[in-house]
Structure 1
Amino acid sequence: MTSVLPDSARARDDLRHRRPLVLLATLGGAAAAAATLLVCLGAGVAGWFLTDAGAHGAPRDALRVGALGWLMGHGSGVSVQGVPVDVVPLGVTLLVAWTLWRIGTRLGDSVSGHGPDADAIADGERDWTVPLTSGLFAAGYVVVAALTHTFAASADTDPDLARVVLWSLVLCLAVGGAGIAVGSGRAAIWAAVLPLALREAGAVCRRILLSWLVLAAVVLLGALVLDLDTALNVMSQLHTDAGDGTVFTLLSATVLPNAVVFSGSFLLGPGFAVGVGTLVSPTAVVLGPLPMFPLLAALPDDGPPAGWTAYLVALPWLLALVATVRTQLRTPTQRWDEGVIRGLAGGVLAGLLFGIAAAVAGGAVGPGRMTEVGPLVLDVTVHAVTAFGVGGLVGGLVATAWQRRAARRS
């Protein structure tokens, strides 16, 4: 918008910020969908050539596989020989979200000259630029998703179109819409009217959640390194050559974020299941027959775990405390209520977001026992909200007390 740019008069004359909103928003949504779809289609064709040099099947079959992978990243699920597979490869979903954010911010900048300026918005004038742009952006994206479903779906695979449309709308409005709001400058105006404590609570939430995911990834990587021989043995038993190994590695990478969420659920205490009647947690490990998949080498051995693993449940409390203190050091406060709101609200929100991640990370991956694979969602959410919320609360109080003491000394 013009009033938040360095030179309002010059920005008003800058046609780059007054391009046709309807056309740009619709094409932007379609382009965001097509960008990641082309990547998946290319991966499907590359995998087809790597596995058997194109000796079997046809290019359209490889394209259909790539399109199904893209749809699965939108929660469609597929049927493989009559067996439902509804796990969401979060690696594909994260690629989609990143693309939506990048295109959304550029689109927001392009339409920032539409609607009232910052002064008019501050005076209470309604501004429909972001909602209208986000709606058209989502509409363009959904059209491409529906066309892709029409091309890739068959009676054998049976991807769910309703779930694809729902996931597309949620991703476009939540991620793409946020990018449009930031790129257009509206987000800065809206954030300015929020209390400082709530804005800082968002910063606390972001730091806690990102720190927790990094810690979970480090633990997962460490477990894989310790049992690297097992993973290599699995690959050797599959009799894969260089091409097959490359394809298998890429497929594993698409569910690596799922494994990180599993790792975080383990560290929180409740753990996760890798089949009906199984449990992997710091206090109990009950496993059964497992499919030959390299990432499963990171699982602990079946049976009672070592005694020290029970103390891992202290990590989320400590991490939330440290993350809250570090965040508050950047924006000090001497008010107890602000310190409490920052830490408690930020921690609870981080716990809820991780609970949502746990809910979408699991699903059916095969027949029989493999119909239940994933974190124990309700227990994980309760533990995450409690640990991050209390840790954030204590961190906010500690940081406030520290800053009040420093202020008295000075």
Structure 2
Amino acid sequence: MTQVTERGTSLSAAPRAGVRRRSPAAAACVVGGAVAAGLGLGFLAVLVIVLWISSPYPDSGPGGALHLAAGLWLLAHGTELVRYDTLSGVPAPVGMTPLLLVALPVLLMRRAARLGSAAEEEDEVLPAGAVFSAVLCGYLAVGAVATVYAAGGPMSADPISAAWHIPLVAVLAAAGGVWGARGRPLGPLPSWLPGGVRRAVVRPRYALALRAGAGGALVLLGGGALVVGASLAWHGAEVQSSFLSLTGVWSGRFAVLLLALTLIPNAMVWGASYALGPGFALGADVTAAPLGFPGAPGLPRFPLLAALPSAGPGTPLTWSVAVVPVVAGLAVGWFAVRRAREVSYGETALTAALGSVVCGLAMAGLAAASAGPLGSRRLAEFGPVWWATGAAALAWTAVLAVPVAVAVHAWRNRPAMGPGGLDALDADDAVDDGWHDSGVREVRWAAMRKAAGALIPEIGVSVPTAVPEVPAAPEVRVRRAVTVVAGLDLDPGLLVGKSAESVEPVEPVSGPLAPPVVGARVLARRKPPPE
């Protein structure tokens, strides 16, 4: 039987009303994802149209320029394109993704997810999963349309490659946007994971390992940028000649400059792989490495390719790039050290090793993203090999990071040194305050243990029967009143230097005594240095 509320609506219809209230917000998230994809497509379309209009010899109409813009948008997601108008008639794949171009869809998708998470509808915020799904649906719908549209252009997208590259980029960007909008919560791990795994992941070693690995990867990328920049400056004449010989009009040179700028992150990864040792491939059976470069005469003329090392065996100049992975290993070891004395050396070494693993995985992923084919036959393999680059980064950083981390940990936790070294910390440096005199401390401890009963266990401290006489300081005589709490059954005669008349009894205090401190050590205080 359906129950009716005071307003005449059934209770069973309440959940449906909630769904209807949420539907505008969900629709707004879908539209936000579609707008993010449209903005990326529109930016590239405007850029390509401007270059097409300014070109004195356009080889296609506006339709061809729009097809090319759609292909570039798909290439920004890592989708492999196929070029059919080749001289040999054999379709040539183009799979090298300019990494700077990837930032466009990632930033737009992340912004759409953040706005969807912050949108409210009648004081009700959509759950994170709903925002993520809605934004993703809108983005993937536009991606499917762009894939179909680009199939009729000069560079059509591979459907299989587009089917997993576009969702991969969209999922990662949307997840980052929702996570950032929710305040970047780490959150508990799923309950279906074993308890030992969930407890181990919350340890601080993993956060330190991520920080150390990211620091090592950034050092490698910075070193790769220095290697590329130095090579461009060393081969400045060849680079200038290559840039000027490609085209003679300003629009063409501007397009070449834009392409070179979008490939700078790729060049940084290639430079890091070169410094690590494996180098990068420049075609079939051709690899540029510090130990030698056989040369690649069939390469196209391009400013970045003009900065390749000279053909021949390695020289001390090319071997000097090994400084980059050495500095990266030192950085991983430095960032893997916790500023706490209770951390063991084994924990520090394990954290450094995990940081090396993170650095190796990061460099392997970047190497895989920066490589790809630029054609067929000789240009089918172009860029660093991902597994070789990751293994080299892991080996370099692990060998250096572990001993560096242990050494830094030992240096930070070294014992305090006096003015004359450890030998200067003798009994003469302790402050004669009366509390640490022989016998006084034991007597007071015995009195407290007697009053506490079973709260304080026996620790085998021998209590002297007679209290040694403690000489009073002749310079300053201070009369202090001592307050004794009833219940301790403390003999006033045990208090050295005090008379029974100076004891002022107070009201009894109910409640247990404070629990004993286990493992505490009493250290001698040093005298202040003479002025």
- Could you say which TM-score interval applies, normalised by the shorter chain? 0.7 to 0.9
- Give the conservation status (yes or no) of the 8 Å contact 1:347–1:391: no
* Structure 2 residue 393 is the aligned partner of structure 1 residue 389: no
Check 1:67–1:158 CA distance in 2 against 1; reply closer, same or farther (3 A cut). closer
- Give the conservation status (yes or no) of the 8 Å contact 1:19–1:111: no
Give the aligned partner of residue 307 of structure 2.
298
How far residue 64 of structure 1 moved from its aligned partner, in angstroms, is: 1.4
Give the aligned partner of residue 364 of structure 1.
373
* Structure 2 residue 247 is the aligned partner of structure 1 residue 262: no
Check 1:144–1:377 CA distance in 2 against 1; reply closer, same or farther (3 A cut). same
Aligned mate of 1:133, from 131, 134, 152: 131
Deviations 1:228-284 (A, max 9, x none): 211111123223221110011112222222221111110110101111121100101
* Structure 2 residue 364 is the aligned partner of structure 1 residue 350: no
- Give the conservation status (yes or no) of the 8 Å contact 2:116–2:135: no
Which residues of 2 match residues 36-75 of structure 1 at below 5 A?
36-52=40-56, 56-75=59-78
How far residue 328 of structure 1 moved from its aligned partner, in angstroms, is: 5.2
- Give the conservation status (yes or no) of the 8 Å contact 1:265–1:375: yes
Distance 1:358 1:111 in 2: 41
- Give the conservation status (yes or no) of the 8 Å contact 2:211–2:355: yes
Distance 2:262 2:69 in 1: 12
Residue-pair matches, total: 378
Distance 1:167 1:362 in 2: 15
Which residues of 2 match residues 100-249 of structure 1 at below 5 A?
100-110=109-119, 129-154=127-152, 157-185=155-183, 187-190=185-188, 194-249=202-257
Greater shift after overlay, 162-171 or 20-29? 20-29
Distance 1:102 1:408 in 2: 54
One-letter code of the match for 2:41?
Answer: L
Greater shift after overlay, 277-286 or 228-237? 228-237
One-letter code of the match for 1:403?
Answer: R
- Give the conservation status (yes or no) of the 8 Å contact 1:141–1:168: no
- Give the conservation status (yes or no) of the 8 Å contact 1:267–1:282: yes
How far residue 155 of structure 1 moved from its aligned partner, in angstroms, is: 7.4
Give the aligned partner of residue 38 of structure 2.
34
Distance 2:146 2:296 in 1: 38
How far residue 395 of structure 1 moved from its aligned partner, in angstroms, is: 3.6
Distance 1:333 1:103 in 2: 41
- Give the conservation status (yes or no) of the 8 Å contact 1:351–1:389: no
Give the aligned partner of residue 99 of structure 2.
90
Distance 2:171 2:182 in 1: 15
Distance 1:105 1:340 in 2: 39
- Aligned to 2:275, the other structure's residue is in SS state helix
Aligned mate of 1:79, from 77, 82, 92: 82
Check 1:173–1:401 CA distance in 2 against 1; reply closer, same or farther (3 A cut). farther
Distance 2:75 2:116 in 1: 26
Distance 2:350 2:128 in 1: 29
Deviations 1:190-241 (A, max 9, x none): 5998222212222222222222212211221121122121111112322322
One-letter code of the match for 1:184?
Answer: R
TM-score, L = length of structure 2: 0.65
Distance 2:147 2:41 in 1: 11
One-letter code of the match for 1:95?
Answer: L
- Give the conservation status (yes or no) of the 8 Å contact 1:321–1:394: no
Distance 2:417 2:160 in 1: 60
How far residue 111 of structure 1 moved from its aligned partner, in angstroms, is: 6.8
Distance 2:217 2:124 in 1: 35
One-letter code of the match for 1:50?
Answer: S
How far residue 189 of structure 1 moved from its aligned partner, in angstroms, is: 4.2
Gaps of 5+ in 1: 1-17, 116-127
TM-score, L = length of structure 1: 0.83
Check 1:179–1:343 CA distance in 2 against 1; reply closer, same or farther (3 A cut). farther
- Give the conservation status (yes or no) of the 8 Å contact 2:40–2:105: yes
Which residues of 2 match residues 279-290 of structure 1 at below 5 A?
279-289=287-297, 290=299
Which structure is larger by alpha-carbon Rg, 1 or 2? 2
- Aligned to 2:281, the other structure's residue is in SS state strand
Question: Root-mean-square deviation (CA), in Å?
Answer: 2.9
Give the aligned partner of residue 339 of structure 2.
332
Structure with the bigger RCO (C-alpha within 8 Å, sep 6+) is 1
Gaps of 5+ in 2: 1-21, 86-90, 190-198, 419-525, 527-531
- Give the conservation status (yes or no) of the 8 Å contact 2:78–2:166: no
How far residue 333 of structure 1 moved from its aligned partner, in angstroms, is: 2.9
Distance 1:180 1:408 in 2: 51
Question: Which structure has the highest helix share of the two?
Answer: 1
Distance 1:283 1:341 in 2: 32
How far residue 97 of structure 1 moved from its aligned partner, in angstroms, is: 2.3
Distance 2:114 2:124 in 1: 15
- Aligned to 1:187, the other structure's residue is in SS state coil
Distance 1:253 1:407 in 2: 53
Check 1:363–1:308 CA distance in 2 against 1; reply closer, same or farther (3 A cut). same
- Aligned to 1:93, the other structure's residue is in SS state helix
Check 1:239–1:406 CA distance in 2 against 1; reply closer, same or farther (3 A cut). farther
How far residue 373 of structure 1 moved from its aligned partner, in angstroms, is: 0.9
- Aligned to 2:311, the other structure's residue is in SS state coil
Distance 2:120 2:416 in 1: 45
One-letter code of the match for 2:39?
Answer: A
- Aligned to 1:75, the other structure's residue is in SS state coil
State the identity as a percent.
24
- Aligned to 2:55, the other structure's residue is in SS state helix
Give the aligned partner of residue 378 of structure 1.
387
Give the aligned partner of residue 522 of structure 2.
none
Distance 1:256 1:83 in 2: 23
Check 1:98–1:279 CA distance in 2 against 1; reply closer, same or farther (3 A cut). same
